[in-house]
Every structure is written in structure tokens, then in C-alpha cells.
Structure 1
Amino acid sequence: MSNPGSAIVWSASGGTAAVINGLEAVYPEAYVLGPAYTVEVAPGDNLALHHAIGLAPAGTVLVVGNGGQQTAHLGDILAQACSERGILGVIIDGAIRDRPEIVKQQFPVFHVGTSPAGPAKDGPGAVERPVVVRGTRVEPGDIVCADADGVAVVAAGDWERVRGEIAALEAREAEIMARIAAGETTVDIYGLKELS
């Protein structure tokens, strides 16, 4: 399997994947696909995020709920700490700072906004509990795929089925692109009805 985009993952799910809209990729090519390690922070506080970076297994994606935009919850230091520990990326319902430095690190972060203000480190917070990001519930272990289009969230128990559909869908889309290049219209390719 290649690195399927969030749109391919959603389509391969048959529309069962949840979506998180309204997040911004820290750089246009940012991409992440992996199991969610969920983090609940208090607005304006990142104590739980510090702990999560030390606890999350390599190969996971931190999915952070409840951050808010008044202060940043992640900057270049925590991005570097994530990278060094093998964390694939961060999806955060909150603000970040040190964006130029994170871009230089090429660490994938998907966030709501930016703020120069730093967070408190007092808590409360929690890890590995369900979180809500932009109105979408994410369970620990759900598979998240994030890119410039947004975030697709596949239930952990459904991932094998979806993964099996991705290659077939990519092959179908390649065939459609070839037919378009050969001069066919999408109306004919998809067998769409006439306008009434």
C-alpha cells in the first residue's frame, strides 16, 4: 500500500470513516497515517501532552483534544521530542507556536491556529481516553490519516477491511484518469444521468 490520502481512505471506507475538518497542516505536504494515541489537555495547559510524548509507543499519532486557541500547546521543542521518540505526527484541536521551526523539522502537525503565548503545565489532563477534535470523537487506537484535505478516522476494528479496499480504489482511480486523458467525459465514465 502506498501512502493513501485522507480522501482515498474515506472513500475506501465506503463513507463509514469519520472526518475532522477545520485543521491546518503545518506545511502543505504534511502527511500522517497511524493509530491514535489520544491526549486530553485542559485549555491553555499542556501537562498531559508532555506525559503523552513519554508514554506513546513509536509509530503512533498523538490526537489531542480540548486545547483551545488562546495559548499554544505545542512548539518546536515538543515537536522535536515527538520526532525523537518515533511519534509520527500530532493532530491537535488547539493552537501551536514556533511554526517556522516545526516546518524546518518537517514534523507533521495538524492544528487549529497559532499563538505566541505559551501554556501552563499544571493539568488536569488524561491519556488513552476518547477525545473530541473539532466535534469528532476519536478512540484510542483508531486509525487516523491526515493531509492537506483533512483527517479521516477509521475505527480500529474496521481498518483491515478499509486497507484492503485502498489498492482497488487507487487502481480504479488510475483507470479513470487514463480514460479522461483519452478524451472521455466524467458523465460517460460514471454513467451519470442527464440533467432534467
Structure 2
Amino acid sequence: MTIKTTDLCDEFGASAKVLLPIFQDLGAKPDFQGHAVTVKCFEDNSRIKELSTTPGEGKVLVVDGGGSDRCALFGDHIAEDLVRNGWAGVLVYGYVRDKAVLRTLPIAIKALGVTPAKSTKRNEGQVGLSVTIAGQVIGAGDQMYADDDGVLVLNAAIGGGA
């Protein structure tokens, strides 16, 4: 059962941290909910690739790519890994590629946009840090919700299991 972001805003008020409406829906699903797994990386998708091969049941991959439009942080191969490993969704403060394939995959993918350029692999990036994306701080373990109306986060301390 998907919990609507509008209902969460009504229930939690200012505690429901709404992200700025800057993301495009690029997967076949518009909605996700799950605990945030945060990744901070800049034009290097090494950590994203590693995480995509781990069990993701009940988790949302939250990628702070610094908003760079110079390359895509992942495409169809990583997205297929995420689906295969049960991830609930992906939020990317950056760009992705292979849009035609992404929109056929049964996962919610929200990103700033698409570009054909691939990222580098320098084995850089950090997992588990708090990141600031679209005007909100998101910590590892915070509860993420997204649907057609937007994306919001409930701090883990609030009991984001509404």
C-alpha cells in the first residue's frame, strides 16, 4: 500500500520535509517509499554500482551527485540491478541515461534529467552521509516517500513509518 505524500503533509505538517519540485519521473513507477540509503558522489558512479548489487527491499537509493549535468550517474544496467535486487526507488540529484529503457523498468526513478555522457569510475564517493538535496537534509535511514505530487522525507527520529 502506497501512502500519499499529500496525506503525510496533512498528518505531519512541517515535520514532513518536502523537496523542491525539480525531479523528472524516469522509471515505469511514479511512487516509492522506503528507508534512505544515501550516496554522495560527483561524476563517479562507483558506489552506486556497488549498492545496486545489494539487497534493497524497503530501501530508496538517494544519490547526491551535486546536480552535475556533465554526465549520467547510471543507466539501464545499474537500474536493472536495482530492480533485480528489490530496491523501492531511486532519487538522483544529478542525471541518468538510457531513458527509453528506464521508463520500462518497474521502479521509480526520479532525477534532474538525462544526458548520454557516462560517468567515470575513480572508486570515489561516500555512503551513509547526510546529504542536502532540493532544499532538504536527508540522512541515512530517514523515511522517503514519493508519488505524482512530489517527494518528501520524514526524519528517522519522527518514526517515518506513518
TM-score using structure 1 length: 0.75
SS at match of 1:105: coil
2:99 pairs with 1:102 = no
SS at match of 1:13: helix
1:116-173 deviation per Cα after TM superposition (whole angstroms, max 9, x unaligned):
111101142011111121232100000000122221100112135x71xxxxxxxxxx
Give unpaired runs (5+ residues) of structure 1.
164-196
Q: Which structure: larger Rg?
A: 1
Instruction: Quote how far apart the aligned CAs of 1:40 are.
Output: 0.8
Matches within 5 A, 1:42-81: 42=42, 44-55=43-54, 57-67=56-66, 68-81=68-81
Give unpaired runs (5+ residues) of structure 2.
none
Distance 1:111 1:27 in 2: 10
2:16 pairs with 1:14 = no
Identity of aligned residues (%): 26
Higher-helix-fraction structure: 1
Distance 2:141 2:116 in 1: 32
Distance 1:140 1:55 in 2: 16
2:23 pairs with 1:23 = yes
Distance 2:142 2:61 in 1: 11
1:21-79 deviation per Cα after TM superposition (whole angstroms, max 9, x unaligned):
2111115851100100111111x211121122234642210000134221111111111
Aligned length: 160
Q: Which stretches of structure 1, 4 residues or more, deviate above 4 A after TM superposition? A: none
Distance 2:55 2:12 in 1: 26
1:93-137 deviation per Cα after TM superposition (whole angstroms, max 9, x unaligned):
000111110111132100001101111011420111111212321
